[in-house]
Amino acid sequence: MTMRGRALILMAAAVLGGSLTALGQSLGDVARQEEQKKKNKENKEKKEAKPVRVYTEEDLKNATGALTIVGSVGASVNTGGGSEGSATEAYWRSRAEERRAAVTQAEGRIAAIEKQLEGLRLDMSPTTNVSDPYRLQTLQAQIRTAQTDLATARKQLEEARQALSDFEEEARRAGALPGWLRER
């Protein structure tokens, strides 16, 4: 018998042996095994879960010594209408206003640089001296500087918009109400 023939016989035996083993299990046996695996997994997850401790204002008033806060400020939101909820609302509103102001400021800077660049390109800038022999070189240098400033400002705008988006996601995860983040 050739080497190829032996390999085919061994492969057939392996396939047939696996099929016979599978035939020995009924569909009910397989279902019971899967159900047991699922229960074992759920029990393991329950054992690994750590209980969450919620601290109230009363707990904080009675606390002595140093206090360490872990996690983000305002992660627990009281929507019941107490002073804690309004303080949290003020926190989220002020941070949202800061992020929006950064975006508005970056947009304003871009508009100003674009206007300056347009003036330089049209050679209407009052800073260029018509009698200067290096006027064109000076003008080109100013245009390059303005273009660099514009690229930087656009990058800052992109970063400010991303920071606003990240903040909105952080607020959503912390449970802040969407109305708290909107402009008034």
Q: At what angle do helices 83-121 and 135-174 cross, to 10 degrees?
A: 160
pLDDT, mean of residues 122-130: 63
| Mean pLDDT score across all residues of the chain | 75
The top-scoring range by mean pLDDT among 62-76, 79-93, 122-136, 156-170 is 156-170
| 54/73: higher pLDDT | 54
pTM of the model: 0.48
Please report, as a single letter, which amino acid is at residue 157: L
Residue 87 has pLDDT above 60, yes or no: no
Give pLDDT, residue 71.
Answer: 46
Residue 77 has pLDDT above 50, yes or no: no
Give pLDDT, residue 164.
Answer: 93
Could you report the per-residue pLDDT of 141-165, keeping only the tens digit for each? Answer: 889 999 999 999 999 999 999 999 9
Could you report the per-residue pLDDT of 10-21, keeping only the tens digit for each? Answer: 666 666 655 544
Q: What is the DSSP string of 64-100?
A: -S-----S-TT-S---SSSHHHHHHHHHHHHHHHHHH
Could you report the per-residue pLDDT of 15-43, keeping only the tens digit for each? Answer: 665 554 445 567 777 778 888 887 887 77
Residue 96 has pLDDT above 80, yes or no: yes
CA 162 from centre of chain = 9
Give pLDDT, residue 106.
Answer: 94
Give the Cα separation of 79 and 175 in Å (integer). Answer: 9
Give the whole-number percent of the chain exceeding pLDDT 90: 26
Please report, as a single letter, which amino acid is at residue 138: T
Give pLDDT, residue 101.
Answer: 93
Residues contacting residue 127 through CB under 8 Å, at least 6 positions apart:
142
Residues contacting residue 177 through CB under 8 Å, at least 6 positions apart:
77, 79, 89
DSSP character for 130?
A: T
